[in-house]
Amino acid sequence: MTTRTLIILSAAIEFATGAALIVVPAFIGRALLGADLSGTGVAVARVAGLGLLSLGLACWPSRNDANPRATRALFTYNLLAALYLGYLRAGAGFVSYLLWPACALHAALTILLVIQHKREVRPEYLDSTFRRS
């Protein structure tokens, strides 16, 4: 899998999740957290949806390649989302049928982004960077 393909996959997931949070925040709240959202929770979920939709759009790669900033942004988001969703399930007692799968998806995307980054690091760059003069 190329970095560009991985970025498209991750950006599309965030875009779709953002759109779903904007359109049906109460359903997503129940499916992901196993709890109903109050009026304030619906408003906050929609703002979060706007952020995820924007992240997906901002990270969408150009025609030829993926932007390193988009890769870093998606890596950071997926890492933090995996950690927080895992905490919600294991530490905060939230129970729902999508919480572990969402955590696993974010963790898998994080790992894939790291693996792809390591594949693309040029050995000659590393050699020249760490060579003593």
pLDDT digits (tens, 9 = 90+) for 72-102: 999 999 999 999 999 998 988 888 889 999 9
How much is the pLDDT for 93?
Answer: 81
Q: Which of 74, 76, 80 is nearest to 8 (CA)?
A: 74
pTM of the shown model: 0.81
Domain edges within the chain: 3-130
Q: Could you tell me which residue, 113 or 125, shows the higher pLDDT?
A: 113
d(CA 80, CA 91): 15
> Given pLDDT bands bounded at 50, 70 and 90, which one contains residue 47?
very high
Q: How much is the average pLDDT of 24-50?
A: 93
Q: Specify the pLDDT at position 54.
A: 96
> 29, 45 in Cβ contact below 8 A?
yes
Q: What is the pLDDT of residue 16?
A: 96
